[in-house]
Structures are given as C-alpha cells and as structure tokens.
Structure 1
Amino acid sequence: MSATRVCSLSELEQDTALRVVVDGTAIAVVKDSEGEVHAIGDTCTHGDISLAEGFVEGETLECWAHGSAFSLLTGKPLNLPAYEPVPVFAVTIDGDDVLIDPAVTKDVN
C-alpha cells in the first residue's frame, strides 16, 4: 500500500485535530503548536471515542470524554484511565499535501 493524501496543510489549524479514514483506519491528524504534523490512531483505547474531538496541548491529544492524554510522538497514554497506546503513523508532506499510509506505523520503542 502507498501513502494516501488525507488533507492539505492549509486545512489543518494549529492545535487542532482532524479525523480522517484511510482504508478503514480512523486517524487523527494533528498540527501542534510548533506547526509539526502528527498522525495517531483516532480511537481512544479506554473507550470508543474519537480522539480528534479532543484537545491538543503541546505534543498531546486529550480524549474529551475521560481525560486521558496521548503522546503525539509515541501514542502512549500519559495518564489514566487509558493504559494502552494508540498507533502512530508516519506522515509525509509533499508540497501542501499531507500523506499517510495506515499500513506504516512509526517505531516508537
């Protein structure tokens, strides 16, 4: 599988998340306060909640329902009640296009 265009950079607002679905995989695409673009699994591992509806602060995305914050760099939850990580996907920027391949996760160990 190859990377798929999911949005343009201009569609991403700073410190917000955008939910996209690529080949059946829900992904939260985030532009952090530094302008860096991240892509993590969109479903909170504590409950079936879209993380893209949550709050971006620094390099974290917080689930609006129960408050678990996930690292945009590693996918690991930084506080309870979530204790399982979400996948982190490699992001490629090509001009103004944001590309993600849901079959390629970042090695964050």
Structure 2
Amino acid sequence: MKVIPIASVCGRTVRAPERAPEATFAGGGAASVADAADAWHLIGEVGQCFDSNDCLGVTIDAVKVGLFRVDGEIHALDDVCTHGNALLSDGFLDGHEIECPLHAGLVDVRTGKGTTAPIVRDTRRHEVRIDGGNLYVRLSR
C-alpha cells in the first residue's frame, strides 16, 4: 500500500487516502476502482484514524472531507463550511452537531443540514463504509 503524508490535522500527520484495489460492480465482474466514478477511497484503519479526537480532516481527489465519529458511527461531509472558508473538522463536536470554528454555525454531521445561522446552505454528505477494520469513503457527486 502506497501511503503519502498530507497536511497535519489536529496536531498529527494524516495519510493520503488511496482507492481500494478492486471492487465488484453491479452488472459485471471485478473492475479497477480507480476506473470507476463511484470509487471507494481507503482512509485507513479506524483505530488509527481517530485517537482522542472524534474529528478528522482528509483530502480525497482534491475534495476536503471531514470525518466525524459520534456514538460509534462515522459520518463524512464536505469539510469546508458553506458559510465561510473554515474547516468543519477544526470545529467543536457536540453530540451530532459540529460547530464551525469561524462563525459558530452548527451542522448536523448525520445529514449535512445546517441547523443554526449563519449556515443557511446544507453541506454535502459522503458515504462511509467499514470493511475489515478499514475506513472507506465514497464521494458524492
């Protein structure tokens, strides 16, 4: 597995995600995930992705994605706040809501819905899958 270090997040180095090597798609046999529009991206082993912090920011194919662990579930959203240019993963997680560190608006990490002003536009959600202890994310279109 080729692992490339990216930006420091929450005081630690996060590894660049990579695509799962192969997957089976509806209507056919195995195909390279890299060739698929709906690729699952390997983030890493769940236990290593989250330590004492339940928020993690990663970049997948130039898309900043925030990962949030709440009550044993992991949720993925676009990491850039829709109100201002701040990373949601740098915010304060309280229950199922992440507080934007710039203007304190809240976003529900389960749905991506902005729940308080100044956030008036919802945040895009991404699919999350855990397989063999590894965390994968599939970007929404």
Alignment TM-score > 0.5, same fold: yes
Deviations 1:25-55 (A, max 9, x none): 11001111x1110001100011010111001
What is the aligned partner in structure 2 of residue 21 from structure 1?
A: 59
Ranges in structure 1 where 5+ consecutive residues have no aligned partner = none
Cα deviation, residue 92, structure 1 = 0.4
TM-score, normalized by length of structure 1? 0.87
CA contact (8 A) 1:12 1:30 kept: no
- Read off the aligned partner of 2:125 and give its amino acid letter: V
Ranges in structure 2 where 5+ consecutive residues have no aligned partner = 1-36
Deviations 1:31-87 (A, max 9, x none): 11x111000110001101011100111111111111111011110111001100110
User: In 1, Cα distance between the equivalents of 2:72 and 2:135?
Assistant: 13
Q: How many residues align?
A: 103
What is the aligned partner in structure 1 of residue 115 from structure 2?
A: 78
Structure 1 outlier segments of 4+, above 3 Å: none
What is the aligned partner in structure 2 of residue 53 from structure 1?
A: 90
- Read off the aligned partner of 1:61 and give its amino acid letter: I
TM-score, normalized by length of structure 2? 0.68
What is the aligned partner in structure 1 of residue 40 from structure 2?
A: 3
SS of residue in 2 equivalent to 1:52: helix
- Read off the aligned partner of 1:89 and give its amino acid letter: H
Name the structure, 1 or 2, with higher relative contact order (CA <8 Å, separation 6+).
1
- The alignment-based identity, stated in percent, is 26
CA RMSD of aligned residues (A): 1.4
- Structure of larger gyration radius: 2
